Amino acid sequence: MKPLITMKPGSSGSKAKYWIEEHAKYVATTTHDPEILPLVIERGEGVWIYDVDGNKYLDFTSSISVCNFGYPTHPEIKKAIIEQLDRIAHAAGTDFYNPYQVMLAKKLASISPGDFPKKVFFSNSGTEANEAAVKLVRQATGRKFIIAFYGGFHGRTMGSLALTASKSVHKKGVFPWMPGVIHVPYPNPYRNPWHIDGYENPGELVNRVLEFIEEYVFDKLIPPEEVAAVISEPIQGEGGYVVPPRVFFTELKKLIDKYGVLFIDDEVQMGIGRTGKLFAIEHFNVAPEVITLAKALGGGAIPIGATIFRSELDFKQPGIHSNTFGGHALACIAALKTIEVAESLLHRVVELEKIFIEKLSPLREKYEKVGDVRGIGLAWGVEFVVDKKSKRPDPTTRNKVVKTALENGLVLLPCGKSSVRLIPPLIITEEEVKIGLEIFEKSIREVSS
Ligand SMILES: Cc1ncc(COP(=O)(O)O)c(C=O)c1O
């Protein structure tokens, strides 16, 4: 294969170096790490990204599961957006009516799991979609508490931040956040408090989590009739691309249904086709009362968030919750077309999953530092450990792999403490998947030697 990289990214004298330095001077500190990912993007084409120095990279990040339909965006989504721009973009969707948000709400209600009437609250991001979910379940039930999972990520604004428990740095120096959240262990098959091998014994792992909720929350901490909802990602994203046992959500739902506790399914990172279904929770056969979406819903072109919920939970009077950009006409049209495009790609995701299974599974046997490989569809995580026996997380090796992959022309993003995610756009070809996975293994090999 011809090398993709002509100049080492971020190397001295390059344009990348200039922009990284200027960025540090003028743009707020967020999550960049120029040591690992000194990537300054100028443009994208399909599944390929070009940096300011003209280097070409294969993208296995979809820009954090947003650009699921390629760069700059899918041609059909682009066309729909341009046509809508000639009609109207912003139409004060929470004060005036517009047909576009009604069309999108109807579509989301019809495609989401659950055979019951639904409504939708529109916003601009994942964290806002979750903030709306929290307000919704509290005012609908009159209950105050929310159960969330260790390893879960739901955003960084003060309500969602309280739900998030994937990295303590998110909470550094900013207390107090929203009160009323209780965290419980997640059924991570590879790494859980009971040291159960959840791949060998999924039922046992799930039982332990449910017993924990019953005994340590409902019995000892907060009566279940004061718990409004449980929130979970169907597959933990920021926490490491962790797939729970397939029986987990049906069993969880059985338990919480007994007490009238609602289930909020955070599909912000996994939704809109990433796992081969429009909603990742469809792999688990449950119908959540509330589902949140954002990221890919805008086709990688327009920001939009959505909170889909059972109609009977709706806000009891105007003014309890609203915003400026909700129901943005342009965003709604982009999302409608995005859903259509995503539906047409689902079968491809299922096909491409086979290549991931075939190429990634052997890595666990081949490399001492590859502790776990897990995923569904085009949502894969690989966890690096110091050694297989101790299972101690090895962020240093992980970071070296991400950096080496970038130098080899493949863009990856870290997740969890020592994992990487492999999440290419859904339009990727078989050939491109193979190129990416080859570079990934080559990078592990280089770091291992
Ligand atoms: C599962 C999940 N929920 C919520 C969020 C927050 O979304 P946003 O960054 O758009 O606020 C994220 C972001 O990564 C996420 O992965």
User: What average pLDDT does the segment 21-34 reach?
Assistant: 96
The share of the chain scoring above pLDDT 70, in percent, equals 97
Atom of ligand 1 lying closest to residue 127 CA:
11
Residue 12 binned pLDDT confidence (cut-offs 50, 70, 90): very low
pLDDT at 412 over 80: yes
Residue 5 to residue 53: CA distance in whole angstroms: 10
Q: Is residue 207 helix, strand or coil?
A: helix
Q: How many CB atoms lie within 10 A of CB 79?
A: 12
| Ligand 1 near 126 CB (within 6 A) | yes
pTM: 0.97
Q: Which of 152, 143, 248 is nearest to 206 (CA)?
A: 248
Domains of the chain (ranges; CATH) run 15-72+346-448 (3.90.1150.10), 75-342 (3.40.640.10)
Residues 6+ apart with CB under 8 A from 77: 69, 299, 300, 301, 334, 337, 338, 341
The stretch 252-263 carries a mean pLDDT of 98
Going edge to edge, which strands form the sheet with 413-415? 370-376, 379-384, 419-422, 413-415
| Ligand 1 within 6 A of CB of 124 | no
Best probe residue, ligand 1, of 268, 279, 415 (max atoms within 8 Å of C-beta): 268
Token pair, residue 116, equals 């019951």
Separation of 163 CA from ligand 1 center, angstroms? 11
Pocket probe mutation, ligand 1, options 295, 307, 415, 421, max atoms within 8 Å of Cβ: 295
Helices (H), 274-426: 329-366, 395-407
Cis peptide before 234 (omega within 30 of 0): no
What pLDDT digit, counting tens, does each position of 28-41 carry? 999 999 999 999 99
Ligand 1 center to 128 CA (angstroms): 9
* Cis peptide bond N-terminal to 72, omega within 30: yes
Q: What is the 153 CA–ligand 1 centroid distance (Å)?
A: 7
> Does the structure show a pLDDT above 70 at 2?
no
* pLDDT recorded at residue 222: 98
Confidence grade of residue 268 (pLDDT, cut at 50, 70, 90): very high
327 lines ligand 1 (CB under 6 A): no
Is residue 154 lining ligand 1, measured as CB closer than 6 Å?
yes
pLDDT classification of 154: cutoffs 50, 70, 90:
very high
**Consecutive H or E run containing 28:** none
Q: What is the pLDDT of residues 343-359, one digit of tens each?
A: 999 999 999 999 999 99
283 alpha carbon – ligand 1 mean position (Å):
20
Q: Name the pLDDT band for 14 (thresholds 50, 70, 90).
A: confident
- For residues 52-58, average pLDDT: 95
Give dist(CA 241, CA 423) in Å, integer.
Answer: 10
Distance 244 CA to ligand 1 centre (A): 19
Residue 295's region, left for phi above 0, alpha for psi from -120 to 50, else beta, is left
